[in-house]
């Protein structure tokens, strides 16, 4: 996983959401609801795929993701706002 150009590792067996993973790596991400409806954690997905475990209700653009309710399913490259 590449965040703002830096590398980080996400193991597949990990139960955490992408947001929790970023936090456990001390990467500051803005968040409010952590349930996909507020959009505070909106992040740009430059490359890769994610899977949602909660249906995201907040508005996100085609190239954006909500880290609070998804997990990567491939190597990903993201940019935090």
Contact residues: another protein, CB under 8 A = 28, 30-35, 37-40, 42, 55, 57-59, 61, 81
Q: How far is the CB of 55 from another protein (least distance, A)?
A: 7
Closer by beta carbon to another protein, 16 or else 32:
32
- The residues with which 51 forms a beta bridge, in sequence order, are 71
d(CA 80, CA 71): 16
DSSP state letter for 53? S
Q: How far is the CB of 66 from another protein (least distance, A)?
A: 11
Closer by beta carbon to another protein, 10 or else 33:
33
Closer by beta carbon to another protein, 8 or else 57:
57
Please list, in sequence order, all residues whose beta carbon lies within 8 angstroms of the beta carbon of residue 18, skipping any fewer than 6 positions away. 10, 50, 65, 67, 68, 70, 71, 72
**Which tokens hold the place of 15?**
């139960």
Q: How far is the CB of 30 from another protein (least distance, A)?
A: 6
């Amino acid at each position: 996983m590449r965040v703002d150009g830096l590398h980080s590792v996400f193991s597949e067996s990990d139960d955490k959401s992408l947001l929790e993973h970023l936090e456990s790596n001390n990467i500051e991400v803005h968040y409010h609801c952590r349930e996909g409806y507020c959009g505070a954690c909106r992040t740009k997905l430059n490359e890769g795929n994610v899977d949602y475990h909660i249906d995201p209700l907040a508005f996100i653009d085609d190239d954006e993701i909500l880290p609070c309710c998804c997990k990567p399913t491939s190597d990903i490259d993201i940019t935090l706002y």
